[in-house]
Amino acid sequence: MLDGGIGTATKRREDVRFLMGRGKYTDDHTPAGTCYAAFARSDMAHGRIVSIDAAAAEGMPGVLAVFTGADFADVGSNPAGWLINSRDGTPMYEPKRPVLAHGKVRHVGDAYAAVIAETREQAMDAVEALEVEIEPLDAVVDMAAALADGDNRVHDDLPGNQCFDWGWIEDNREATAAAIEAAPHVTTLELVNNRLVPNAIEPRCSIGEYDPGTGDYKLTTTSQNPHLTRLLISAFVLGIPENKLTVIGPDVGGGFGSKIYHYGEEALVLSAAKRLGRPVKWTATRSEAFLTDAHGRDHVTRIELACETDGTFIAFRTETMANVGAYLSNFSTATPTFLHGTLMAGNYTVPNVYVNVKAVFTNTAPVDAYRGAGRPEATYSLERVIDKCARELGIDPIAIRRKNFIQPDQYPYASAAGLEYDSGNYDALMDVLERRADLAGFEGRRAESERRGKLRGLGINSYIEACGIAPSNLVGQLGSRVGLYDAATVRVNATGNISVMVGAHSHGQGHETAFPQIVADMLGVDPATIEIVHGDTSKIPFGMGTYGSRSLAVCGSAVHRATEKVIVKARKIAAHMMSVSADDVDFADGQFSVPGTNKFVAWGDVALKAYIPHDFPLEEIEPGLEETAFYDPANFTYPSGAYACEVEVDPETGVVDVVSMVAADDFGNVVNPLIVTGQVQGGLAQGIGQALLEQTTYDADGQLLSASYMDYAMPRADDLPTLVVDHSSVTECTHNPLGVKGCGEAGAIGSPPTVVNAVIDALARGGHDVAHIDMPLTPVRVWTALQQA
């Protein structure tokens, strides 16, 4: 293993600038002449815009322009990226999503006007001076009521508010029903996957610029995928030619999904920049972030598990209502369908799976992919109902899972939910977990807790996820409007150092450290000589960005492929320099040599020669040493894991204390174990937050009650236990060149059911027969359950 190459726990190089306060996030950029945008946002969930009088606002100090929905009535719509058909074959309902609300406002926070002024404060003051009449309409908030009430419509031409009614796999519907009907045991569970606000700590921010000399636009924005944002603005919303629009996602302070999507504010600042001929900047307040960032989860689910009396699984059937909010955010239709339904077989050899999802419009903020995106919802439903089933049948929760695990000799394994898993070893993960979590010692710890008057419980969970989001061929069949490859260019400069331009975007994932490890490993050069360039569409090849635990598996593989091409070219140059055939040249440790001779040339000599080709046979070797690869994999990757959590419940108060959390994951090969551990720990914290703390609450009028950090309980340091992470159990991905699977979402997928299973276990051990408590398991919910059981 090369020191600093693949598998090395290299410290992150990007840390130095962040630790010095030298990161350059979007809001840290203020081009000369910048003016500021502020948005007028609806304070009611649903209403008809009667009039907007901007005269007074336009006369306020410093005000440069006022925009309303009418200004954008003729531009395009921000689209849903996936087209889903209902069970009967009809296409989903896709409403127009305008830059600014026009005609109606559809959720609290929906922007219907924007003011541009010399300063942020002047813009905000002028927003207050807009004279606006909005006729209130009844708000559609509850999903079941939304489906039932034909007169109360989020979109006027859609009675019943249903976006689609999707079945997966529709051909399995009857067989699954018959299997459940005939099964000796059926466990049923109704549950809510609570709505979450992603809460990247950097609020969204966008700066639009326009150069009247060249007609070029530039958007600097908090984006996880600058090329996707550019494509959406160019092809769907504003029609700016792609070659006249540069999108830059500079340092970005976390995303977790919420910064994948194109938002109207980005189109507004670009349009305003052109009209005013000045840079226009908008920075969200945290309050705006709560109201307008795409939220996550929000499923109401009924799941049935049919099995033999010995616990052998026969069928899983899921019926879900998924909230999509007022408009379709870009991935919102994929998240509850193909990122959820396809995972409903879990890690198990169950023969029958059927999933029905009704997506519902409501007068709430759009809901879209948030860390895990569909897979946490699938895992939560499945692993909760399995736990309930084990309890009903009196089977140990680990034993029932092991009994049904897909076995290592069954790969590739075609799951009953339509995916082909390429590799895994779930028993091995459970073995690691049993040791790392010292499950044998649980009873002693439980007895010790009991002496202190606490109920201690143990929660177990297994998960599988499909990530490395790609492959284009498959997602195309599933309704995606885009391809999901990624791209990298490896440029060897004349002096031998290397620039690697990647389509993935790093906003915490450590690409600037991890990607050079791959190239260094392959070339046998010092990783310090390799720089990563990302986030700027004018510098990088067309890549699809970072989400879905895809960066290493997809973009990392593109880096691998491009580096392979560089080696092929460099070998030709080296052969020419040594006057031998390329077939006779060996390459190792950064040096080209001819075995059996004393001929060799060093890496730096080949790089220099590539740019000083005085004697090249130009018909055989082009000058330069730079290669690009687009990588589109054959399949998703399938990370998996086994998690254990121990909780102490205070029976007097219902307070839950997570006292241990252990994650055993199989990510395939690991490039940088330090970064991977951090990714899992962050996911665990978000999952524990979902399980115990985080609740997005709209009241019956559609007012967001949990719209600040005073009201929305973010996990803080003292809410969390020591997070133990183990990724030593490895089965390689069989179809990408690195054998990697992806680790970004795992912790957030695996931990919520683990925590809830632990609490239910604690209550059961205390003699309280509680079948289920919905997340978040706040003290009042747990206490109430204790009183009733």
Who's near 497: CB < 8 A, 6+ residues apart? Answer: 529, 530, 531
Hey, is 478 helix, strand or coil? coil
User: Please, which of residues 401-430 interact with other proteins by CB under 8 A?
Assistant: 428
Q: Is 671 in the site for other proteins (CB under 8 A)?
A: no
Binding mask 462-491 vs other proteins (x if CB under 8 A, - otherwise)? ------------------------------
Beta strands in 614-683 (DSSP E): 626-631, 640-649, 656-666
Q: Is 512 in the site for other proteins (CB under 8 A)?
A: no
Q: Is 287 in the site for other proteins (CB under 8 A)?
A: yes
Q: Is 708 in the site for other proteins (CB under 8 A)?
A: yes
Q: Which of 131, 150, 435, 448 binds other proteins (CB under 8 A)?
A: 435
Q: Measured from the CB of residue 211, what is the shortest distance to other proteins in angstroms?
A: 24
Q: Measured from the CB of residue 21, what is the shortest distance to other proteins in angstroms?
A: 2
Q: Which of 89, 579, 710, 788 binds other proteins (CB under 8 A)?
A: 710
Binding segment (CB under 8 A) for other proteins, from list 451-459, 668-676, 756-764, 768-776: 668-676
Closest CA to 228 of 78, 99, 75: 78
Q: Measured from the CB of residue 298, what is the shortest distance to other proteins in angstroms?
A: 19
Give dist(CA 273, CA 278) in Å, integer: 5
Q: Which of 3, 620, 717, 788 binds other proteins (CB under 8 A)?
A: 717
Give dist(CA 586, CA 748) in Å, integer: 45
Q: Is 507 in the site for other proteins (CB under 8 A)?
A: yes
Q: Which of 207, 359, 685, 749 binds other proteins (CB under 8 A)?
A: 685
Q: How far apart are the first and last CA of the chain?
A: 57
Tell the residue number behind the tokens 């030298």, with chain if given: 22
Closest CA to 413 of 426, 403, 400, 401: 426
Beta sheet of 111-117, edge-to-edge order: 63-68, 111-117, 35-41, 280-283, 205-211, 216-221, 245-248
Q: Is 285 in the site for other proteins (CB under 8 A)?
A: yes
Closest CA to 368 of 337, 328, 319, 338: 328
Query: Chain-centre distance of CA 136, in angstroms?
Result: 35
Query: Chain-centre distance of CA 219, in angstroms?
Result: 22
Pairing type for strands 280-283 and 205-211 reads: antiparallel
Q: Measured from the CB of residue 410, what is the shortest distance to other proteins in angstroms?
A: 17
Tell the residue number behind the tokens 């009209």, with chain if given: 275
Q: Measured from the CB of residue 726, what is the shortest distance to other proteins in angstroms?
A: 4
- DSSP per-residue codes, 45-84: SSEEEEEEE-HHHHTSTTEEEEEEGGGGTTS-----SB--
User: Please, which of residues 738-767 interact with other proteins by CB under 8 A?
Assistant: 747
Who's near 7: CB < 8 A, 6+ residues apart? Answer: 1, 669, 670, 671, 672, 673
Q: Which of 276, 655, 659, 724 binds other proteins (CB under 8 A)?
A: 724
Q: Which of 1, 3, 19, 50 binds other proteins (CB under 8 A)?
A: 19
Q: Measured from the CB of residue 222, what is the shortest distance to other proteins in angstroms?
A: 10
Q: Which of 176, 199, 356, 364 binds other proteins (CB under 8 A)?
A: 199
Long-range contacts: 706-712, Cβ < 8 Å, 24+? 706/197, 706/290, 707/287, 707/290, 707/291, 708/286, 708/287, 708/290, 709/286, 712/197, 712/199, 712/290
Cβ-based nearer residue to other proteins, 117 or 484 = 117
Q: Which of 51, 214, 598, 722 binds other proteins (CB under 8 A)?
A: 722
Closest CA to 304 of 419, 433, 423, 187: 187
Give dist(CA 366, CA 69) in Å, integer: 18
User: Please, which of residues 326-345 interact with other proteins by CB under 8 A?
Assistant: none
Q: Which of 726, 752, 754, 761 binds other proteins (CB under 8 A)?
A: 726
Q: Which residue type occupies 456?
A: R
Are the C-beta atoms of 100 and 71 separated by less than 8 Å? Answer: yes
Q: Is 202 in the site for other proteins (CB under 8 A)?
A: yes
Closest CA to 530 of 543, 546, 511, 548: 511
Who's near 762: CB < 8 A, 6+ residues apart? Answer: 455, 456, 457, 647, 648, 649
Cβ-based nearer residue to other proteins, 133 or 711 = 711
Give dist(CA 543, CA 503) in Å, integer: 4
Binding segment (CB under 8 A) for other proteins, from list 4-12, 167-175, 228-236, 451-459: 4-12
Measured CA angle at 318 (ends 315, 324), to 5 deg: 160
Q: Which of 30, 90, 653, 697 binds other proteins (CB under 8 A)?
A: 30
Closest CA to 287 of 704, 640, 646: 704
Q: Which of 4, 5, 6, 12 binds other proteins (CB under 8 A)?
A: 12
Binding segment (CB under 8 A) for other proteins, from list 45-53, 167-175, 702-710, 780-788: 702-710
Cα dihedral 218→219→225→227 (10° resolution): -30
Q: Is 714 in the site for other proteins (CB under 8 A)?
A: yes
Q: Is 32 in the site for other proteins (CB under 8 A)?
A: no
User: Please, which of residues 110-149 interact with other proteins by CB under 8 A?
Assistant: 121
Are the C-beta atoms of 41 and 265 separated by less than 8 Å? Answer: no
Q: Which of 454, 505, 534, 727 binds other proteins (CB under 8 A)?
A: 727
Q: Which residue type occupies 63?
A: V
Cβ-based nearer residue to other proteins, 489 or 754 = 754
Cβ-based nearer residue to other proteins, 157 or 718 = 718
Pairing type for strands 591-593 and 586-588 reads: antiparallel
Closest CA to 513 of 679, 684, 641: 679
Q: Which of 4, 76, 203, 468 binds other proteins (CB under 8 A)?
A: 203
Cβ-based nearer residue to other proteins, 349 or 681 = 681
Q: Is the bond preceding 169 in cis, omega lying within 30 degrees of 0?
A: yes
Q: Which of 78, 161, 593, 677 binds other proteins (CB under 8 A)?
A: 677
Cβ-based nearer residue to other proteins, 505 or 609 = 505
Q: Is 256 in the site for other proteins (CB under 8 A)?
A: yes
What are the backbone angles phi and psi of residue 699, rounded to the nearest 5°? -85, 180
Q: Which of 482, 720, 764, 771 binds other proteins (CB under 8 A)?
A: 720
Q: Measured from the CB of residue 62, what is the shortest distance to other proteins in angstroms?
A: 12
Q: Is 194 in the site for other proteins (CB under 8 A)?
A: no
User: Please, which of residues 600-659 interact with other proteins by CB under 8 A?
Assistant: none
Binding segment (CB under 8 A) for other proteins, from list 128-136, 490-498, 508-516, 597-605: 508-516
Q: Which of 28, 190, 589, 699 binds other proteins (CB under 8 A)?
A: 28
Cβ-based nearer residue to other proteins, 545 or 715 = 715
Cβ-based nearer residue to other proteins, 353 or 707 = 707
Are the C-beta atoms of 661 and 724 separated by less than 8 Å? Answer: yes
Cβ-based nearer residue to other proteins, 128 or 622 = 128
Q: Which of 319, 431, 605, 650 binds other proteins (CB under 8 A)?
A: 431
Q: Is 15 in the site for other proteins (CB under 8 A)?
A: yes
Q: Measured from the CB of residue 8, what is the shortest distance to other proteins in angstroms?
A: 11
Hey, is 734 helix, strand or coil? coil
Cβ-based nearer residue to other proteins, 627 or 666 = 666
Q: Which of 530, 725, 755, 759 binds other proteins (CB under 8 A)?
A: 725
Residues that contact other proteins, how many (by CB under 8 A): 72
Q: Is 684 in the site for other proteins (CB under 8 A)?
A: yes
Are the C-beta atoms of 673 and 727 separated by less than 8 Å? Answer: yes
Cβ-based nearer residue to other proteins, 125 or 368 = 125
Q: Is 442 in the site for other proteins (CB under 8 A)?
A: no
